[in-house]
Structure 1
Amino acid sequence: MLTTKMLGNKLELTIPFAWQGITVQQIFREKWKTSKKQAHLFRMEGRVTFKGEKIGWDKPLDAGSKLLMDLFDTQPTEVEPFYLDLAILYEDEHVLVVNKPAFLNTHPNTPGETETLLNAVSFHLQSEGKGASVQQTHRLDRDTTGAILFAKHPLAGAILDGMLEKRLIKRTYIAAVCGTGLKKKDTINLPIGRDRHHSVRRRVSPSGQAAITHYKVLKTEPYNKLTFVACRLDTGRTHQIRVHFSHIGYPLAGDELYGGRPLFTRQALHAAKLEFTHPITLERLAVRAPFMDSPPIFKDIDLEKI
């Protein structure tokens, strides 16, 4: 874990002893694994300084050296702020994890749409006088609840995008599916594509994109004919969990689009845990999202054991 602190809108980074002799170039490309585009931008704009001067990116640095980095955009935000009382699960100067409620879009899908989680996060940051270059790293369906990860500045966003692409951000979901005959533990490896007969729905298709869902049974409710499962995704296809379980004959409860019984007002799906390496400090984080439904959908499930 790196030692950092914020000085206004600038990040002070202290070179640890384990990094003796490292260069700025290596920090960006090897430690943070950011994109070439982001590294080039910081280099060309002179946004990394040492003792008040621009630093050569190939200059070896001594342990204890303090770099100053200008992380935040000064451009005005293009995301219109919208007030919402956010359920914040984790926050520091670089990232934010929010517990998304049901019936709220992650981001605008149509011109002029402003009542979304992204707009609410923009309001939160602007109200604190912070930079407004917020971006979500991934998304959840409108009716799905749970943890969503946001980056507060472009460098963190670029690093997290790369981590997501390399499947280094682990997401665990809890779902209630109709039926009680599932194996205790299994993997669903079936490609998913668009349903040409329905503009919104997806389906398992040989010509679709690879999609892998691992699951384990947490408990069953025979009287409701429900099974509660924890799911981990290797891929992030649209409606992946919903499509996979519907295809094998166990649609999510409340998910009428995919054949689930209307036991709840929404599909019974919750993003329960996010595990990732912090994009800047390199600390390993695990963030759990409490259930939000009233009346509850997921009863007697201990998130600490997920």
Structure 2
Amino acid sequence: MRFRTFARMKKQKSETEVIVVRETGVLLPFLFSYFTDRSKTTVKSYLAHRQVSVNGCITTQFDTPLTPGDRVEIGFGRAKEGVAHPMLRIVYEDDDLIVVDKRNGLLSVATDKQIMRTAYSILSEHVKREDPRNKIFVLHRLDRETSGLMMFAKNEPIKIRVQSRWEQTVAERKYFAVVEGIVKEDEGTISTYLTESKALKVYVTVREEGKIANTGFRVLKRSEKNDVTLLELELETGRKNQIRAHMEYIGHPIVGDRKYGSKRNLIGRVALHAGVLSFIHPATGERLDFSTPVPRKFTELFG
């Protein structure tokens, strides 16, 4: 039986999904049919982690019967509350990892020159409320003016495991950017060597001086009126400021990114957003997929 007849009632980014059942069926096949873009292991983990409820009752039973009118709710992440901060939202938490959605303007971690409120300090306080001995560990960073998804480890063995096998652990990372000018090619890959200057700016260099960096791109929208292009960008390597340096290199700097060649600040921020993060959980082996939508300020430039 195919379970393609259901009604989506509510979706709040990556927090909660409520589906109204329209045909008699069984829970797990129903979930497989709904989440066709996710692996069966990931869908099964929603049940194992007590993230699924039917008519308000949490269930872990894959064979829970469904009848027309039942409401199936899926919560993405076991910790929906606990951080009350306008710049940061937890989208997933377990005993080993925290995945967050960071707003632009918030530092990932403190720097020598800037010691202020950061994603790291907010999450550190969050885990210490449960036990003062708890810690968090940085796995990767987003620039201050970049918004979107990033993850932290909650213990050192997981940190070491993830960072030592980063390319095998992280299955997919996609960004969205509004760049200056009209990108003519519909898709392609930018492949160069990158290095960093004494002024801490990353730039394209020759092979002997730098590290290889590959960025795939695909055009989503173009605006002749505003002379900008919306790109989906996929990191094949994870170099510091890779996307920003590559966009400047091809003559299409990210809107608002003055450090990397932008001359136009159309939306009051750097138009770069980390929208997709998928990885293999280092403890369970499950693939977990997270996404946040393209910011409205980006899409309004193409209205």
1:249 is the counterpart of 2:256:
no
- Equivalent AA in structure 2 for residue 201 of structure 1: K
Within 5 A, what are the aligned runs for 1:101-180? 101-110=103-112, 113-129=115-131, 132-166=134-168, 168-180=170-182
Within 5 A, what are the aligned runs for 1:211-290? 211-260=213-262, 261-290=264-293
Within 5 A, what are the aligned runs for 1:180-199? 180-196=182-198, 199=199
2:236 and 2:169 map into 1 onto residues whose CA distance is: 7
- Equivalent AA in structure 2 for residue 150 of structure 1: F
Deviations 1:234-283 (A, max 9, x none): 21212111110111111111111122122132211000010101111111
2:169 touches 2:281 (CA, 8 Å); kept in 1? no
User: Per-residue deviation at 1:147?
Assistant: 0.3
- Equivalent AA in structure 2 for residue 257 of structure 1: K
Structure 1 spans left out of the alignment, 5+ residues: 6-81, 302-306
1:112 and 1:140 map into 2 onto residues whose CA distance is: 15
User: Per-residue deviation at 1:129?
Assistant: 3.1
Which residue of 1 is the match for residue 24 of structure 2?
A: none
2:241 and 2:188 map into 1 onto residues whose CA distance is: 19
Within 5 A, what are the aligned runs for 1:34-45? none
**What is the TM-score of this pair, normalised by structure 1?**
0.66
- Equivalent AA in structure 1 for residue 270 of structure 2: Q
More displaced stretch, 155-164 vs 91-100: 155-164
Deviations 1:149-176 (A, max 9, x none): 1111122212211231547342110001
Structure 2 spans left out of the alignment, 5+ residues: 1-40, 50-82
- Equivalent AA in structure 2 for residue 298 of structure 1: T
Change (3 A) 1:187 1:124: same
- Equivalent AA in structure 1 for residue 112 of structure 2: T
More displaced stretch, 106-115 vs 225-234: 106-115
Which residue of 2 is the match for residue 94 of structure 1?
A: 96
SS in 1 for 2:248: helix
1:211 and 1:248 map into 2 onto residues whose CA distance is: 14
Change (3 A) 1:112 1:96: same
Which residue of 2 is the match for residue 297 of structure 1?
A: 298
Change (3 A) 1:238 1:254: same
Q: Hey, which bits of structure 1, 4+ residues long, moved more than 6 A?
A: 2-5
- Equivalent AA in structure 1 for residue 281 of structure 2: H
Deviations 1:29-52 (A, max 9, x none): xxxxxxxxxxxxxxxxxxxxxxxx
1:263 and 1:188 map into 2 onto residues whose CA distance is: 25
Deviations 1:128-162 (A, max 9, x none): 33752211211011110000111111222122112
SS in 2 for 1:105: coil
2:268 and 2:148 map into 1 onto residues whose CA distance is: 16
1:111 and 1:190 map into 2 onto residues whose CA distance is: 30
More strand by share: 2
1:167 touches 1:235 (CA, 8 Å); kept in 2? no
**What is the TM-score of this pair, normalised by structure 2?**
0.66
2:121 and 2:112 map into 1 onto residues whose CA distance is: 13
- Equivalent AA in structure 1 for residue 269 of structure 2: R
**Count of matched residue pairs:** 221
Query: Between the two proteins, what is the percent identity of the paired residues?
Result: 32
1:254 and 1:297 map into 2 onto residues whose CA distance is: 12
User: Per-residue deviation at 1:99?
Assistant: 0.7
User: Per-residue deviation at 1:292?
Assistant: 5.4
Which residue of 2 is the match for residue 202 of structure 1?
A: 202
1:83 touches 1:120 (CA, 8 Å); kept in 2? no
RMSD across aligned positions (CA): 2.6
